[in-house]
């Protein structure tokens, strides 16, 4: 809340002593939303980004700004999960291409390992 707005509210309270400014001040003096933390958690630790999605979309959705932050957390979480799955699939595909003589059945690989150890 900027100083001009505070000054105007103080002026209104001086002119009208019966006006209670407590609700206005509580509404306007709330701390800002933790946007950076929400983005950081949603992108780097995707499953935990769902916490902010639930918090700001379902539980604490009294303002458009909070709802918007909840949607952004959801989108960031979904994108991060998609990127992780895509990266894993790409690495797996590259490993299969570079190791053509790997057995198709994992138990065959275990048997080969046991034969080497013996």
Element housing 58 (H / E): none
Please say if the pLDDT value at position 59 is more than 80: yes
pTM passes above 0.85:
no
Give per-residue pLDDT as tens, 25-40: 666 666 677 888 999 9
Give per-residue pLDDT as tens, 62-72: 788 889 999 99
- Residue 28 in contact with residue 2, Cβ under 8 Å? no
At 80, give phi and psi (nearest 5°): -65, -40
- Residue 37 in contact with residue 69, Cβ under 8 Å? no
Instruction: Compute the distance between CA of residue 90 and CA of residue 117 in angstroms, rounded to an integer.
Output: 32
């Amino acid at each position: 809340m900027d100083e001009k707005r505070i000054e105007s509210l103080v002026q209104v309270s001086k002119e009208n002593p019966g006006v209670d400014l407590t609700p206005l001040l509580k509404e306007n003096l709330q701390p800002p939303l933790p946007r950076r933390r929400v983005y950081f958690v949603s992108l780097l630790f995707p499953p935990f980004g769902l916490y902010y999605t639930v918090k700001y979309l379902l539980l604490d959705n009294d303002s458009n700004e909070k709802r918007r932050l909840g949607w952004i957390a959801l989108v960031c979480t979904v994108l991060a999960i998609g990127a992780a799955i895509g990266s894993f699939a790409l690495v797996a595909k590259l490993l299969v291409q570079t190791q053509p003589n790997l057995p198709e059945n994992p138990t065959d690989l275990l048997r080969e390992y046991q034969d080497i150890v013996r």
